[in-house]
Amino acid sequence: MSSNAAMAETAALVGDPARACMLNALMDGRALTAGELAGAAGITAQTASGHLARLAAAGLLAMERQGRHRYHRLASPAVARMLEAIMMVAGAAPPPARPRRTGPADAAMRRARTCYDHLAGQLGVAIADAMAARGQVELATDGGAVTPAGEDFLAGLGITSQAVGSRRAFCRPCLDWSERRHHLAGGLGAALCARCFELGWVKRVPQSRAVLVTRAGEAGLRRAFGIELD
Amino acid sequence: MSSNAAMAETAALVGDPARACMLNALMDGRALTAGELAGAAGITAQTASGHLARLAAAGLLAMERQGRHRYHRLASPAVARMLEAIMMVAGAAPPPARPRRTGPADAAMRRARTCYDHLAGQLGVAIADAMAARGQVELATDGGAVTPAGEDFLAGLGITSQAVGSRRAFCRPCLDWSERRHHLAGGLGAALCARCFELGWVKRVPQSRAVLVTRAGEAGLRRAFGIELD
DNA sequence: GCCATGCTTCGGCCCGGACCGAAGCATGGC
DNA sequence: GCCATGCTTCGGTCCGGGCCGAAGCATGGC
């Protein structure tokens, strides 16, 4: 059973704290240089170099040289999904343990962040809740669908069905790491996230997966979704 | 960022070949004794005991004592999904490598097997294809939905919508490990799988995730789905 | 009570691999 | 050409943890 060994090898790569840190830093979908990743993991450049080479060899990372720099990013959405899945199990892990402060310590991260290509945190959950409450999407633990009313609503936001995906069922729910509730992922989640950036409703916090809701964003989100973050 | 450490810890648990072997053996959803798991991993009982204790402490396994035996099973579907996700990355891993025989060496496994709670392999893919071709389900990479025609069809098979789930979108596609194509998972996949066992169309191969299609099953599958396994 | 079975705990061995210092290549700026 | 920057390779140290043998508890059969 060689597939067992392959699985163990892949998991072992994620199973080192320094590598996990680097992978996590790439979970926002951007590409970072080797130096930045070394800093994020708190290790020296030469140690990071070894790790990155192994991750790339295993197909977890894609590497791209640009001048003196080498940019690394997650090789595919499948890798991001794997990391999500691991994080979910890790988060729910201690079953008979003390409740233990859930989620990231960083308040901004808890409030709003990107999760590979879509929005998560309080913002992501609020959007999902609002769209579900208005009958714009139907959510279930195993999948979801956009309703006709939802398509109209998205069109009004400037999101075409082409941007979302060709089929009706493109709205994968993704259990939120800090909120422990579902938010919108999949094609719909990615399109909504991209549109929020385009509209200037949210902007990235440097060196972080966290995003800030701008003043225009607060107004826009209230108008479009009827949501009001604390 | 303590969540990083938690993720690494969880991944490291899967990252040991012996533990990966045991987790894999539990991927069919059944509960096995410590001795059986030790045998599956090719290690002694005392070594397995240590591994199992750690996996249980981390919330990956649930343990249940029954007489002298201790039965272990995956703690939750989330764990199974995590293992699936890791396997998927591991399978697709070597990107610039030789094509390398895909999937399990075992021919029976490739033909039909369970994947936690649903059917996979050629059989699983064939069912998904047949239902999609007949307009009974709509599949996308991020989710899926059963059509009204599909509900009628399922009712004819003796599968009520209660058995499948309360919402319309309960049919999560799951990328097949050996076939590299999608099959039906989620509530729908679980209900179909259970019904196939009830009808005696398939039966488990002892000590394996593989399942055999019975003579009655060949006829039933042909009649119900119009599929013909080689 | 006695023994067999199933599993766990303890102790000690040993190997893999994570880490860093130093040196070696590249690329870009001047 | 020269040096600075970014990254990699090499060599050596050190620690975590996987492994088994032996012994220690439970449970069940007799």
Protein-proximal positions, strand C, CB < 7 A: 5-10, 17-23, 26-28
- For chain A, helix, strand, coil in percent to 5 are 50, 20, 35
The protein residue nearest C4 (Cα–C1') is: B68
Interface of A with B in 39-98 (CB under 8 A): 58-60, 75-76, 78-79, 81-95
Characterise A42 by phi-psi region: left (phi > 0), alpha (psi -120 to 50), beta (else). left
Q: Please say if the pLDDT value at position B56 is more than 50.
A: yes
User: To the nearest whole number, what is the mean pLDDT of chain A?
Assistant: 83
Query: Which of A3, A131, A162 has the highest number of chain B CBs within 10 A, making it the mutation to test binding with B?
Result: A3
B214 CB below 7 A from strand C atoms = no
Tell me the CA distances in angstroms from A134 to B1, B57, B86, one per residue in order. Answer: 36, 41, 36
Query: Would you call B17 and A5 a contact, using CB atoms and an 8 Å cutoff?
Result: yes
**Above pLDDT 70, what percent of chain A?**
83
What is d(CA A150, CA A162) in angstroms, rounded to the nearest whole number? 14
The answer to whether the CB atoms of A168 and B140 lie below 8 A apart is: yes
pLDDT band at A175 (very low <50, low <70, confident <90, very high): low
Chain B nearest C-alpha distance from A227 (Å): 25
Closest residue of B to A92, CA-based?
B59
Q: Could you give the 3-state DSSP secondary structure of residue B166? A: coil
B202 phi/psi in degrees, rounded to 5: -135, 155
Under 8 Å CB pairs connecting chains A and B tally to 236
The answer to whether A195 contacts chain B (CB < 8 Å) is no
**Given phi > 0 = left and psi -120 to 50 = alpha, else beta, which region is A165?**
left
The answer to whether the CB of A136 falls within 8 A of the CB of A153 is: yes
Q: Where are the domains of chain B?
A: 2-77, 107-225
Distance CA B79, CA B73 (A): 10
CATH architecture for residues A2-77: Orthogonal Bundle (1.10)
Q: Check CB contact under 8 Å for B82 and A89.
A: yes
- Residues in A closer than 8 angstroms to B2, CB to CB, are 105
Residue B185 at interface with chain A, using a CB cutoff of 8 Å: yes
Question: Distance in angstroms, CA of B63 to C1' of D27?
Answer: 17
User: How are beta strands A69-74 and A32-33 bridged, if at all?
Assistant: antiparallel
String of b and e for A168-178 (b: at least 16 CB within 10 Å)?
Answer: bbbbbbbbbbb
If one counts every other C-beta atom within 10 angstroms of the C-beta of residue A218, the result is 14
Could A11 and B86 be called an inter-chain contact, meaning their C-beta atoms sit closer than 8 Å?
A: yes
Least confident of B18-27, B122-131, B165-174: B165-174
Q: Which whole-number Å values give the CA distances from A217 to A14, A149, B92, in the listed order?
A: 36, 23, 39
Give B41's pLDDT tier (boundaries 50, 70, 90): very high
**Using the CB atom, is residue B51 less than 7 Å from strand D?**
yes
Query: Looking at beta carbons, which residues of chain A come within 8 Å of B15?
Result: 8-15
pLDDT band for B95, please (50, 70, 90 cuts). Answer: very low
A54 touches strand C (CB under 7 A): yes
Q: Residue B65: which region, alpha, beta or left (left: phi > 0; alpha: psi -120 to 50)?
A: beta
Supply φ then ψ for residue A135, to 5 degrees.
Answer: 70, 25
Q: Tell me how far CA of residue A73 lies from CA of A22, A50, A62, B69, in angstroms.
A: 10, 16, 5, 47
**For the residues B22-51, what does the mean pLDDT come to?**
91
Closest residue (CA to C1') to nucleotide D10 in the complex: A46
> Tens of pLDDT along A187-210?
888 889 999 999 999 998 876 788
DSSP state at residue A210: B
The per-residue pLDDT for range A2-22, each reduced to its tens digit, is: 578 899 999 999 999 999 999
pLDDT digits (tens, 9 = 90+) for A87-141: 989 986 554 443 344 444 467 878 888 888 888 888 998 998 899 888 888 876 6
For residue A170, pLDDT over 80 is answered with: no
User: Is any atom of strand C within 7 angstroms of residue B127's beta carbon?
Assistant: no
**Are B187 and A142 contacting, i.e. CB atoms less than 8 angstroms apart?**
yes
Residue numbers in A 42-81, CB below 7 Å of strand D: 45-46, 48-50, 52-53, 68-70
A32 touches strand D (CB under 7 A): no
